[in-house]
Amino acid sequence: MIFQRIKLPTWSRGRGLRRHASVIAFFCLLTVAVTWPLVLRFSSQVPGWYIADNYEYLWKMWWFKHALLDLHQNPLIAPQLFYPQGFELAHAELSPLLTVVSLPLTWLWGEIPTYNLLSFLSFVVAGWAVYALVVRTTGSDWGGLLAGTLFVLTPYHVVRYAGILPSASIEGIPVFFLGLEMWTQERRPRWVLLTAFGFALAAWAYLYYALGLLLLGPIYAWARLRQSGLALRQRPILIGAASMGALALISLLPLAIPYFQLSRHVQLSIPLGDVDFWSASPTDYVIPPGLHPLWGEWVRQHLLGVPAEFPQIGLEFILGVGFVCLLFAAYGLGRDTSQAKSAVVWLTIAAFVLSLGPTLHVGRHPLVIPGPDGLARSFEKFMNTLGEWLPGREAYGTLGVGGITLPLPALFLRWLLPPLEGVRAWNRFAVFVALGLALLAGAGYSNWIRREVQQASDSLSTRSRKERLAGLVVLSLAIFELWPGRLPLQPVEPREVDRWLAAQPGQFTIMELPLVSALSAPQMLYSRYHGKRTAFAYGTFFPYWYRQEYPELADCPKSPCLDRLRSWGVRYVLLNIDALPPGSTLESELNSSPDLGRIIRMDQIVVYELLT
């Protein structure tokens, strides 16, 4: 086949440089268009569906700069949060790519434009890397452009771009597989370094991606080497694999140490029931893209199966890659004869199965096989015995739903490797599914052009014209289908109550109610503005541990709750009225408490003084 004889143009050739520069320029323009008008508000706003995790990561970027350069102290501990114990940042994502690697930019430029620049680069670098990978395996520039566009515009990425920067930083993943693909074919040290760089780029952005590459990278390499007819025990292969493994461990070591230290006195685990909920369903991948301005709202309301009272949760499960992607991926699956196809298929299948989490779901509900009660009890007993025997020592019965559920590999990985008990959202593996399908779609487009569009009798100019016209049409269709509409931007500013607190003399501690408001990501950034100590904080594991460790805080303003707040030196209690559930009587209870004095209301925040 012609595409098997074409090699990726190298950077040392002028034509190759111009081609790659053109591709990078294309993805820059695409990024500006998709994120518009962020480029006009680069220093004052950040993308976000809500004011949520984006505020947390802005705070972390600021805190690392402030702690290291101004306070000259360990940035992994914030003593002013969760006072008087202090807050260890290992309760959540450390994301050194955002906090450490980008520190010079944060210092020179500020955290807001640095945050936005990293968001932009997730589109440009990821798109270029996927393009380079497809051109390497197929020789098709248009196939590479299509695959790169499909990957960066996949709803998984766009959803996280608008709010969760670490998981939006997907660029390290295709860089890793680009290096791995080059190494499996040439086994040169520079490709080992590129693979390790891609791994570090992904891992230092988001630990989920480190886990995904550790599990899926060997599968891709094994399938690729096997398809090439190479013996896996050859000395160069063993040396290269060992080198990549060593470099990966070295890049993980600084990430692992803070979590290991924290795990000695805090249980870094997520309940199995929560893990089960935050898993993908097979149907999530085949429904229309749920961000499109024409049909996206209908998809989110009717096809995702999320509770009507929490529609924002639906953003987590918008995983449909689009029918253009699925169509060309199916064509590539059937017609592509390149040696890389087998590896991409294995990668996609493995990622798909892992994304489904501990048990098989349809929508947000476990698939339950009805049967006799005795059979269901026997199955649950067997699974409980197995779960408690394996290293995880965890019961399966928490998932009992009156029938037999279908356990999946993610459950057994969790039980075999106890550190995986801290993995909450297995649906994050959807990014690897999107990459695999985009690669298959790029290969499918390349084969479709040669088999269905171009004719053997066509002249070279005719073949080129047909490919260019077809490429423009297909690429336009893909962009239209995945177009997310105008993505919301959020201003970065303090609340009125934060300004009021900052104006109060002296240092003191505050508490916010209800707990759902206190244990939320925006509180991290608000603490920067008011500069006071807080009796709360936020992180992946922190809310679970905090509620379990201090159950009395759920019953404010009863005496045990107020006694706990007094022991922490709390002076003011803030009530967020917007966060109260329907029918809540918390405000009236706080108003009538003899231990609290109502001081002022600012917007939806009421301030009470805790009397001593």
Write the CA distances from 368 to 1, 109, 355, 364, 382, integer angstroms: 47, 53, 19, 12, 17
**8 Å CB contact between 276 and 407:** no
pLDDT at position 15 is: 60
Look at the block and give the residue holding tokens 């803030």: 574
Structure tokens at 100: 């450490």
pLDDT at position 7 is: 43
Mean pLDDT of 533-562: 92
3-state secondary structure of 72: coil
**8 Å CB contact between 149 and 479:** yes
Integer Cα distance of 375 and 385 in angstroms: 15
pLDDT at position 220 is: 94
Lowest mean pLDDT among 90-104, 294-308, 357-371, 455-469: 455-469
Model confidence band, residue 14 (pLDDT cutoffs 50, 70, 90): low
Domain definitions of the chain by residue range? 496-610
Q: Which residues, 6 or more positions from 162, have their beta carbon under 8 angstroms from its beta carbon? A: 47, 48, 49, 487, 488
User: pLDDT tens digits for 207-218?
Assistant: 999 999 999 999
Look at the block and give the residue holding tokens 């550790």: 214
pLDDT at position 261 is: 81
pLDDT at position 240 is: 84
Mean pLDDT of 54-81: 94
Cis peptide before 37 (omega within 30 of 0): yes
User: Is a pLDDT exceeding 70 seen at residue 352?
Assistant: yes
pLDDT at position 455 is: 74
Beta bridge partners of 610: 596
User: pLDDT tens digits for 126-178?
Assistant: 999 999 999 999 988 999 999 999 999 999 999 999 989 999 999 999 999 99
Integer Cα distance of 226 and 489 in angstroms: 47
pLDDT at position 345 is: 96
pLDDT at position 12 is: 39
User: Is a pLDDT exceeding 50 seen at residue 226?
Assistant: yes
pLDDT at position 187 is: 82
Class at the top of the CATH hierarchy for domain 496-610: alpha beta
User: Is a pLDDT exceeding 50 seen at residue 6?
Assistant: no
- Among 273, 279, 429, CA closest to 360: 279
pLDDT at position 400 is: 53
- CA torsion sign for 539, 254, 111, 488 is negative
pLDDT at position 1 is: 33
490: phi then psi, degrees, rounded to nearest 5: -120, 135
Beta strands in 471-569 (DSSP E): 489-491, 509-513, 533-534
Integer Cα distance of 65 and 59 in angstroms: 10
Mean pLDDT of 306-325: 84
User: Is a pLDDT exceeding 80 seen at residue 228?
Assistant: no
Return the percent helix, strand and coil in the chain, to nearest 5.
Answer: 65, 10, 30
Write the CA distances from 27 to 150, 158, 160, 430, integer angstroms: 12, 14, 18, 22
Integer Cα distance of 319 and 285 in angstroms: 5
Residue with the bigger pLDDT between 261 and 86: it is: 86
DSSP string, 428-471: GGHHHHHHHHHHHHHHHHHHHIIIII--TT--HHHHHHHHHHHH
Structure tokens at 158: 């766009």
Integer Cα distance of 570 and 299 in angstroms: 45
> What's the length of the chain?
612
Lowest mean pLDDT among 172-181, 386-395, 429-438, 493-502: 386-395
